[in-house]
């Protein structure tokens, strides 16, 4: 950008006057609303936008982006604000484009097991609407996130071991590009070999290449029988090895979640559970009445061989809901372990064979530092999360936490893994992309510059561009 700071300021104010006249009360520069649209769930500094615009149609999104491009003002797409790596922060100011009012389910094709939705539809709202059809959308990151945000961050969750991530769930989408033009990628066909896979390029691009305005998603039939189970273990290694053995034997697990003893203690207090404070697996089995029970019995045998205790299981929906709500509330439960502390919520993902060693080394690192840091993870696909609690005013604790994060990522990369399995890069993990991707990072930057030469779409995320 070659304009002077004064010229940019004048252009921004002219833009805001135009947006205010065009959108009325749906455009605001109010301090509290701006603060709500900045990062709130990590230790990263909160950086509010200059203004917030609530869009209600694709045409309005395109109009906003085009006007912002002309004024050289950043646009940060916003869904529900549940991301964990500063994705919705506005380090260079700009307009937070809130898509929560674009919340219609546009079509459900029951025979084809797919649907088309606007980006502001949340996963819970979609499944509530689908329930009468006998279908459901399986990607479950825990928070009631918007589907547009889930696609933008390539979200995952507890069901990924069986149903995959947002990368697998999105058949096609529409998006507004940095100049305000609209493109449609993919379609409703289950496969295609027609040209570049632009859908996969935009899924996971974290709002840096385009603003998603609709999605076509895969759906699945609601299983006839669902059984949830809890299994305590003597050691972290035993829980991880039982997971590996179950997957190698081909057990079609729907969910398999690991919680270490610190996380179990937090969940007991927050969710009013009474589980033994020991490494534990939460599991779920989907199938027919006979197949689901056979899978439960098979896993119980595997667990016993790895030091697992009695497998307690539940078939009634109320019991299952309580169990999985406790898992989904893990972040909030952790905060109760040290009131007033900040949470560094981070994740890595490794090949399943490296999981036990990686988690054990991580636990040892935590203990040597003297940090309170529960471990919880979607261990069926090698993904686990660590949540150190630190005093924001204690420089030494922040230094320890940063060093811990650096070693955690280095450990995952050395095992052939990734710096993030599902949280995304945002601001928090920019420093690790070069080590993970090498020359591939230059290709990503080239794509960004080609599609967004003015760097107005969510700048300061994924890459530290000037």
In CATH, what number is assigned to the domain containing residue 236? Answer: 3.30.70.2190
Mark whether 185 and 251 lie in a shared domain: no
**Which DSSP category does 143 fall into?**
S
Q: pLDDT by residue (tens digit) across 53-74?
A: 999 999 999 999 999 999 999 9
- The 3-state DSSP class for residue 282 equals strand
Mean pLDDT of the chain: 94
Mark whether 326 and 374 lie in a shared domain: no
CATH for 393 = 3.30.70.2740
Domain enclosing residue 201, as ranges: 105-221
Strand spans (E) along 130-259 = 135-136, 170-176, 182-186, 211-218, 220-221, 225-232, 253-259
CATH for 116 = 3.30.465.10
Would you say residue 275 lies in a domain? yes
| pLDDT band at 1; cut points 50, 70, 90 | very low
Six-digit token pair at 254? 């729907």
CB atoms within 10 A of CB 41: 16
Residue 267 has pLDDT above 60, yes or no: yes
**Of 332, 350, 378, which marks where a domain is finished?**
332
Q: What does the pLDDT read at residue 3?
A: 53
Task: Round to whole Å and give the CA distance between 466 and 385.
Answer: 31
Mark whether 117 and 92 lie in a shared domain: no
Q: pLDDT by residue (tens digit) across 423-455?
A: 999 999 999 999 999 999 999 999 999 999 999
Task: Round to whole Å and give the CA distance between 381 and 258.
Answer: 11
Mark whether 57 and 115 lie in a shared domain: no
Mark whether 306 and 328 lie in a shared domain: yes
The position carrying tokens 């065009």 is 22
Would you say residue 234 lies in a domain? yes
Q: pLDDT by residue (tens digit) across 283-326?
A: 999 999 999 999 999 999 999 999 999 999 887 888 888 889 99
Would you say residue 438 lies in a domain? no
Closest listed residue to residue 359, CA positions, set 349, 344, 368? 349
Phi-psi region of 15 (alpha: psi -120 to 50; beta: other; left: phi over 0): alpha
Mark whether 235 and 249 lie in a shared domain: yes
Mark whether 351 and 405 lie in a shared domain: yes
Q: pLDDT by residue (tens digit) across 331-369?
A: 999 999 999 899 999 999 999 999 999 999 999 999 999
H/E stretch holding 299: helix 289-305
Residue 5 has pLDDT above 60, yes or no: no
Would you say residue 440 lies in a domain? no
Would you say residue 297 lies in a domain? yes
Strand spans (E) along 4-94 = 27-28, 51-54, 75-78
| pLDDT band at 4; cut points 50, 70, 90 | low
Q: pLDDT by residue (tens digit) across 76-90?
A: 999 999 888 999 999
Mark whether 212 and 125 lie in a shared domain: yes
Report how far Cα 117 is from the mean position of its chain's Cα atoms.
19
Q: What does the pLDDT read at residue 399?
A: 93
Residue 47 has pLDDT above 70, yes or no: yes
**Of 274, 305, 332, which marks where a domain is finished?**
332
Q: What is the pTM of this model?
A: 0.93
H/E stretch holding 169: helix 166-169
Mark whether 165 and 78 lie in a shared domain: no
- The answer to whether the CB of 371 falls within 8 A of the CB of 344 is no
Interval 197-224 mean pLDDT: 97
Length of the chain: 466
H/E stretch holding 7: helix 5-23
**Of 85, 100, 115, which marks where a domain is finished?**
100
Would you say residue 459 lies in a domain? no
CATH for 50 = 3.30.43.10
Q: pLDDT by residue (tens digit) across 371-426?
A: 999 999 898 999 999 999 999 889 999 999 999 999 999 999 999 999 999 999 99
Query: How many domains is the chain partitioned into structurally?
Result: 4
| pLDDT band at 461; cut points 50, 70, 90 | very high
Task: Round to whole Å and give the CA distance between 292 and 286.
Answer: 6
Six-digit token pair at 80? 């529900």
- The 3-state DSSP class for residue 364 equals helix
Would you say residue 265 lies in a domain? yes
Would you say residue 131 lies in a domain? yes
| pLDDT band at 464; cut points 50, 70, 90 | confident
Task: Round to whole Å and give the CA distance between 427 and 445.
Answer: 15
Mark whether 202 and 244 lie in a shared domain: no
Mark whether 204 and 277 lie in a shared domain: no
Mark whether 285 and 260 lie in a shared domain: yes
């Amino acid at each position: 950008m070659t304009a002077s700071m004064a010229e940019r300021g004048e252009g921004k104010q002219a833009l805001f006057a135009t947006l205010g006249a065009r959108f009325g009360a749906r455009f605001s520069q109010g301090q509290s609303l701006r603060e709500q649209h900045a990062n709130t769930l990590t230790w990263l500094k909160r950086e509010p936008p200059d203004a917030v615009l609530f869009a209600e149609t694709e045409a309005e999104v395109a109009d906003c982006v085009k006007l912002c491009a002309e004024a050289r003002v950043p646009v940060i797409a916003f869904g529900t604000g549940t991301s964990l790596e500063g994705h919705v922060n506005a380090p260079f100011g700009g307009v937070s484009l809130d898509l929560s009012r674009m919340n219609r389910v546009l079509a459900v094709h029951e025979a084809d097991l797919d649907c088309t939705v606007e980006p502001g539809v949340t996963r819970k709202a979609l499944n509530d609407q689908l329930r009468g059809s006998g279908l459901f959308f399986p990607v479950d990151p825990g928070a009631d996130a918007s589907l547009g945000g889930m696609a933008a961050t390539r979200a995952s969750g507890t069901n990924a071991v069986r149903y995959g991530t947002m990368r697998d769930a999105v058949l096609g989408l529409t998006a507004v590009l940095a100049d305000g033009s609209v493109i449609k990628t993919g379609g409703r066909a289950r496969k295609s070999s027609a040209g570049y896979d632009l859908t996969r390029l935009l899924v996971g691009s974290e709002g840096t290449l385009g603003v998603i305005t609709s999605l076509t998603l895969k759906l699945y039939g609601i299983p006839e029988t669902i059984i949830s189970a809890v299994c305590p273990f003597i050691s972290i290694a035993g829980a991880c090895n039982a997971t590996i053995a179950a997957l190698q034997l081909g057990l079609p697990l729907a969910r398999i979640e690991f919680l270490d003893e610190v996380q179990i203690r937090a969940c007991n207090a927050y969710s009013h559970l009474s589980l033994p404070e020991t490494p534990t697996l939460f599991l779920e089995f989907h199938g027919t009445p006979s197949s689901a029970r056979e899978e439960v019995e098979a896993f119980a045998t595997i667990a016993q061989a790895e030091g697992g205790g009695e497998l307690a299981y539940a078939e009634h929906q109320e019991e299952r809901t309580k169990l999985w709500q406790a898992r989904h509330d893990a972040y909030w439960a952790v905060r109760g372990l040290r009131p007033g502390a900040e949470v560094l919520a981070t994740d890595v993902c490794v090949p399943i064979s490296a999981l036990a060693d990686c988690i054990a080394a991580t636990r040892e690192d935590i203990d040597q530092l003297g940090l309170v840091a529960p471990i919880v993870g979607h261990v069926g696909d090698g993904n686990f999360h660590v949540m150190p609690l630190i005093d924001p005013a204690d420089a030494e604790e922040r230094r320890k936490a940063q060093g811990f994060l650096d070693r955690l990522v280095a450990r995952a990369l050395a095992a052939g893994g990734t710096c993030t399995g599902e949280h995304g890069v945002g601001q928090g993990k920019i420093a690790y992309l070069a080590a993970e991707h090498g020359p591939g990072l230059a290709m990503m930057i080239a794509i960004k510059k080609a599609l967004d030469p003015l760097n107005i779409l969510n700048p300061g995320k994924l890459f530290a561009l000037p």
